């Protein structure tokens, strides 16, 4: 029997990301939250939900911080949690699986940790446990590697430090990373071909790429367990 080729993915920590993020988690053995890179305003603490049949951007506010700080140095504004929950409740209270899923979201928001990276780590772990994904989570800030290296070399160093043989990136990485560069370090580079098929929301046309909250609210836990497994590695 051939030894298992451990797979690793490295992504910035996102709060309640879309289904493809969880497909990437499901595709690997070790998932590293890239949290010691500079904070940039984006999707880390924001995601889209369905509100009145349209896409709505929601944000879990963070405390004021230096523009040069790393993601793992940012803290959540704990006073914003209640308003966030109110938005989710208002948007999905008529969804078929609202009761069970809102309880999970509320439990995640109740986690008594305001460091953003640790808070998101707990949220991803909780959701992965719910979906029976047994991937191990790590934080890049707790891994020894050359932080002054260029982007692709950082990924290679982290992957090798974890004893993995394969690095998996999203399909968008095809424009950024070369398989030959990884092969010179005895690593295999794979790209995730995500599959996001439409599902019934309320009454309007399907709105894709919304938060995992939306997927769970309309599909429930059991169906979502199957959806996270629907991907290809190229």
Q: What is the pLDDT of residue 151?
A: 83
Q: What is the pLDDT of residue 211?
A: 98
Q: What is the pLDDT of residue 1?
A: 37
Using CA atoms, how far apart are residues 105 and 100, in angstroms rounded to an integer?
9
- The band of 3, judged by pLDDT with boundaries at 50, 70 and 90, is very low
For 17, the token pair is: 């990301």
Mean pLDDT of 209-213: 97
What digits encode the pLDDT tens for the residues 58-84? 999 999 877 789 999 999 999 999 999
β partners of residue 24: none
Pair 101, 217: CB distance under 8 Å? yes
Considering the chain, what is the average pLDDT of its residues?
94
Query: What is each CA distance from 206 to 88, 214, 231, in whole angstroms?
Result: 18, 11, 20
pTM of the model: 0.94
Q: What is the pLDDT of residue 2?
A: 41
- The band of 5, judged by pLDDT with boundaries at 50, 70 and 90, is low
What digits encode the pLDDT tens for the residues 18-59? 999 999 999 999 999 999 999 988 899 999 999 999 999 999
């Amino acid at each position: 029997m051939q030894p298992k080729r451990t797979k690793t993915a490295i992504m910035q920590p996102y709060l309640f990301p879309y289904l493809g993020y969880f497909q990437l988690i499901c595709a690997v053995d070790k998932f590293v939250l890239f949290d010691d890179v500079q904070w940039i305003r984006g999707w880390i603490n924001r995601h889209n939900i369905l509100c009145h049949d349209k896409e709505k951007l929601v944000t879990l506010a963070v405390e004021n911080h230096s523009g040069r700080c790393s993601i793992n140095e940012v803290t959540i504004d704990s006073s914003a949690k209640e308003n966030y929950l109110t938005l989710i409740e208002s948007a999905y209270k008529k969804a078929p699986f609202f009761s069970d899923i809102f309880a999970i979201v509320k439990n995640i928001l109740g986690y008594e940790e305001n460091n953003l990276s640790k808070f998101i780590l707990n949220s991803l772990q909780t959701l992965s446990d719910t979906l029976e994904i047994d991937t191990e989570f790590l934080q890049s800030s707790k891994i020894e590697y050359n932080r002054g290296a260029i982007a692709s070399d950082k990924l290679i160093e982290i992957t090798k430090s974890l004893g993995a043989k394969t690095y998996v990136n999203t399909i968008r990485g095809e424009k950024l990373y070369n398989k030959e560069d990884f092969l010179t370090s005895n690593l295999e580079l794979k790209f995730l071909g995500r599959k996001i098929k439409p599902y019934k929301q309320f009454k309007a046309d399907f709105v894709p790429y919304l938060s995992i909250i939306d997927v769970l609210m309309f599909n429930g836990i059991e169906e979502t367990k199957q959806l996270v497994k629907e991907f290809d590695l190229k």
